[in-house]
Amino acid sequence: MPPHEVVIGVDSSTQSTKAAFVDRATGRLLAVGRAAHVVTGEGGARESDPEVWWRALCEAVAAGLKESGAEARHVVGIAVAGQQHGLVVLGADGAPLRPALLWNDTRSAPQAAALTEALGGAEAWTARTGSVPVASMTASKWQWLRENEPETAAATAAVRLPHDFLTERLCGRAVTDPGDASGTCWYSTATGAYDPELLALLGLDATLLPEVAPSGAARAGGLTEEAAAALGLPAGIAVAAGTGDNMGAAVGLGLGGAGLLDHPVLSLGTSGTVFSASRTRPASPALAGFAGADGTYLPLACTLNCTLAVDKVAALLGLDRADAEPGGETVLLPYLDGERTPDLPAAAGLLTGLRHDTTARQLLGAAYEGAVVTVLRALDALLRACGLDPEDPEVAARPLRLIGGGAQGHVWVETVRRLSGRPVILPAAGELVALGAAALAASAATGEDPVALASGWETGEERQLPAVERDLATWERVGSVLERAAGPLLGGAAR
């Protein structure tokens, strides 16, 4: 028997859209519809047509509805959690003027550096926004557009983030949330509003931006007749303001800021991210001090190269991703798209330590190790920025929660265990970004707290793996190469 009420949580990521159909009362995952995206660009360019996201959303919802066994009349709410930082510019007719610049487009690195200096340095930015401009941030991309495509910038009638674009298609209202807005570098986490001085610095009129809802769970409106026809859903159902993908994952995990970094999360996806919820506003150049979707904060550090980069190395070697062995003396930093942490936007991959007896499987294992050491070093930086010593035995013993596609891979999990020396928790619930979006949708439909909803849903028992002895030799070998290479050898300068 289908459930009485269903909510849809949409995860619109870099590579695909997933639409999770969830029983509103129990959190039971009924089905996940999927549709692929297209990413284009060479060198530092990474772009997607926003219309592809909308078509993928429609396809994913149709597939999920069919698979779930529910009828359209059972659906009471929908919310989108989308890839952060992407720049969508719309014309007066509401159509995209050009493909969106994605979060992993590194062409705006010079603009990021110039913006940082223009305001007086990194600390001046973190005091306002919680974050420092890097090539990933939307403000840097807007500045790049102004300098490189001034006609497009001048014709822009609306500026949106990816999830904003989709939410507006759903409900007809230009609205965002504090979580995703905090990744733009023109929204102030200190004031909870767009920062007029930063907008002036960027030559960006506030009227081009969406309204900021109180939270991602706020009801943005009802599903429009046009969107309802495209999705095969009832018009008028609740549309939540939605949020960014990392904020959505935090909601899906039930993280609501009970304690600073008590439960650090390591997400292994296209990018590698580490984050936790906090009720204390973070402001350090070492991390992105985002807002959460529920009124808390989400200190976060992000690397650009994770599962996608390792999969590319596997493909080059003609191996399956599971064929890896420990890298031995070999070190491979898979910085194929530049890197964000450390801030090396012009970096390329680096391979060193080859021997006659080095095997292809070891090379692949070295790619895993390079990606994992990079993201674990980002975690250490995040801990230090929040006043915690990563070498403190109590801090170092805290379990890591692994999520994302990599958390489903044995080699990823075991490499994290070996290089961190920490216990690892594997949440039972899959599709955490979509699940978090579903909780936001349920909150918009009922008025209940989204984190409490997600925490109370029956998503299964999580699995905890005990700590193993830490591989300090590999940790130090990779870290040493990374530190020596963070300069001209990688084609970029750390700052």
The residues carrying an active-site annotation are 245
Tokens coding 181: 């807005």
Q: Are 23 and 51 in contact (CB under 8 A)?
A: no
How many CB atoms lie under 10 A from the CB of residue 94? 12
CA distance 190 to 18: 33
CA distance 224 to 419: 50
CA distance 411 to 276: 24
Instruction: Look at residue 257 and give its three-state secondary structure.
Output: coil
CA distance 43 to 241: 34
CA distance 412 to 310: 10
Q: Are 43 and 32 in contact (CB under 8 A)?
A: no
User: Which long-range CB contacts under 8 A does 406-413 form with residues at least 24 apart?
Assistant: 406/268, 406/269, 406/272, 406/306, 406/307, 407/267, 407/268, 409/268, 409/307, 409/321, 409/322, 410/322, 411/321, 411/322, 411/324, 411/365, 411/368, 412/268, 412/307, 412/368, 412/372, 413/465
| Residue closest to 70 by CA, chosen among 236, 233, 238, 239 | 233
CA distance 47 to 68: 32
How many CB atoms lie under 10 A from the CB of residue 391? 10
Residue type, 425: I
- The kind and range of the H/E element at 424 are strand 424-426
Q: Which residues contact 36 (CB under 8 A, 6 or more apart)?
A: 15, 16, 56
Residue type, 252: G
For residue 350, what are the β-bridge partners?
333
Instruction: Look at residue 478 and give its three-state secondary structure.
Output: helix
Going by DSSP bridges, is the β-strand pair 193-194/187-188 parallel, antiparallel, or unpaired?
A: antiparallel
